[in-house]
Amino acid sequence: MDGNGEAGPPRLGAVVLTMGDRPKELRALLDSVADQHGDPIEIVVVGNGAALPDLPETVRGIELPENLGIPGGRNVGIEAFGPGGRDVDVLLFLDDDGHLPDPGTAELVREAFAADQRLGIVSFRIADPVTGVTQRRHVPRLRASDPLRSSRVTTFLGGANAVRTRVFQEVGGLPADFFYAHEETDLAWRALDAGWRIEYRADLVLHHPTTAPSRHAVYHRMVARNRVWLARRNLPLPLIPLYLLVWLLLTVARTRSPAALGAWFRGFVEGWRTPCGRRRPMRWRTVWRLTRLGRPPVI
């Protein structure tokens, strides 16, 4: 059965977001998607406020006149497959400097979604193409010491995942106003509250060079602002101050740079002073579900 309950394997599409500055890496990624076993995967490449390089004839390109941020750009890619991505059953979201080393990855994705009709999101394992190392921050759970262990999780990696399009149709797309940071967790919490499952699959690998998230100039501000928005949008009222207090203490303990800490606090204040979008607090049974999965929504 496919993602819509019909005979046949789930139909796959792929969304790739690019700033147009990595044409060689982008082409390598597109080739690795085209080389996947099984039915061809329709690919949409979104130029996020940037001109696109030459693309293969089978790839659709969309050039946006301005940078809409990561969630906004990916939402455009979703809608390119019809409202909520309904023209396909599952969408892959892949970083433009990544690469699928195993041509059997798409078949594993099809099998996973066909076998479990409540599986909503699958998070891939990101590994450095040279060392094979997976950074702890790329394992979307608190117990991250063994990246080769698959498990159910409460969030996922934005540039290496697969999402059943019924999730978008049911709970909406990524929060475009976030621009960068925590948009995956916002979608994950809404999906879990609607009864979908999320899995981290260590056998689904995306090769990606090792990087630090703080390479982005807006990192500290966006992380703080969006953390507040995430809580205000999704948590029951009693949990909001507890969740944000925990993260404030963790940030103070971990951050060594006064400039970075200053940017974080400015973002934190901005998160309280600016609109966060529609508030849809999760149910308490979802809080318990997150807790049983090892990640209570206070950390």
What tens digit of pLDDT does each residue of 251-286 get? Answer: 999 999 999 999 999 999 999 999 999 999 999 999
Neighbouring-strand partners of residue 76: none
> Does 175 fall in a domain?
yes
pLDDT of 181-201, one tens digit each? 999 999 999 999 999 999 999
Q: Specify the pLDDT at position 87.
A: 98
Which of 143 and 282 is assigned the larger pLDDT? 282
Q: Specify the pLDDT at position 238.
A: 98
Q: Specify the pLDDT at position 212.
A: 75
> Does 186 fall in a domain?
yes
DSSP character at residue 239: H
With a cut of 90, say whether residue 3 has pLDDT above it.
Answer: no
Residues in the chain: 299
Split into its structural domains, the chain has a count of: 2
Residue that finishes a domain, picked among 153, 182, 211: 211
Instruction: Answer for the pair 228, 272: CB distance below 8 angstroms, yes or no.
Output: yes
> Does 297 fall in a domain?
no
3-state secondary structure of 146: coil
With a cut of 70, say whether residue 216 has pLDDT above it.
Answer: no
Q: Tell me the C-alpha distance between 276 and 206, whole Å.
A: 32
Q: How confident is the model over 85-114, as a mean pLDDT?
A: 98
> Does 4 fall in a domain?
no
Q: How confident is the model over 43-63, as a mean pLDDT?
A: 97
Q: How confident is the model over 60-80, as a mean pLDDT?
A: 98
What mean pLDDT value characterizes the chain? 95
299 pLDDT band, cuts 50/70/90, is confident
Per the structure, the complete domain to which residue 92 belongs is given by 12-211
Give the Cα-Cα-Cα angle 263, 213, 22 (nearest 5 degrees): 125
Report the CATH number that the domain containing residue 24 is assigned in CATH: 3.90.550.10
Tokens, residue 203: 């056998």
Residues 120 and 189 in one domain: yes
Residues 152 and 163 in one domain: yes
C-alpha closest to that of 218 among 150, 275, 253, 270: 270
Residues 184 and 235 in one domain: no
